[in-house]
Amino acid sequence: MRGIAALPGRIMALALACLLAACTSNSAPPGDVSYAAPEYRLAAGDELRITVFGEEALSKEYAISSTGVLSFPLIGEVAASGQTVTELTRALTDQLGNGYINDPRINIEVLNYRPYYILGEVSRPGQFPYANGLTVVQAVALAGGYTYRADKGKIFITRDGASQEEAYELDEGRKVYVSPGDTIRVGERYF
């Protein structure tokens, strides 16, 4: 009898909890802004692991040549530079399926990306190996950190293949991602 008498109170408490949960926000805090790198495009120097399921002889590591092509058994040279991994997978699937292999299933993994470059007001400017998800702050740390003259609030990036550099603000909460082949320049402060 006591359990039945407490039922209306429990229903009210559950309804109140549901209303309070509906009032919460799932949006990011106002300062949490990221500058995403554009979708990765393959280029000369990238090393790939290509797996053709059920075809051991074709499944191995390949490099994109300096001319931007991938030499692949059975089909010869395939234009790879400028394509995404998805686009190259589709091209290989189409060409292998055109008289060579019935319903080919292909997986492509980038093993080694092109390096990125960092110059300007960092302790050790130069060329560095790219790692997926790398941010500008991490790239600066790998280059030995800022010099005492560095403008820590703004950096400049020339994206791989672009002709002009873009300026990015480095406020707290903002992440600027690096892409392979990027050139990052840390400017000098004026005061």
pLDDT tens sequence across 16-32? 454 444 444 443 333 33
State the pLDDT at residue 3: 53
State the pLDDT at residue 139: 96
State the pLDDT at residue 35: 53
**CA of 43: how far to CAs of 35, 47, 88, 124, 149, in Å?**
22, 9, 12, 26, 35
| Helix or strand (DSSP H, E) at 3 | helix 2-22
Give the residue among 63, 66, 70 at the shortest CA–CA distance from 49.
Answer: 63
State the pLDDT at residue 70: 95
State the pLDDT at residue 41: 86
Distance of alpha carbon 170 from alpha carbon 182, whole angstroms: 17
> What residue ranges define each of the domains in the chain, with the CATH number in brackets?
47-112 (3.30.1950.10), 114-188 (3.10.560.10)
State the pLDDT at residue 9: 58
Distance of alpha carbon 133 from alpha carbon 85, whole angstroms: 16
State the pLDDT at residue 38: 59
Summary count for the chain: helices (H), strands (E):
3, 12
State the pLDDT at residue 19: 47
pTM: 0.65
Q: Which residues of the chain have pLDDT under 70?
A: 1-38
Give the residue among 86, 119, 92, 87 at the shortest CA–CA distance from 104.
Answer: 92
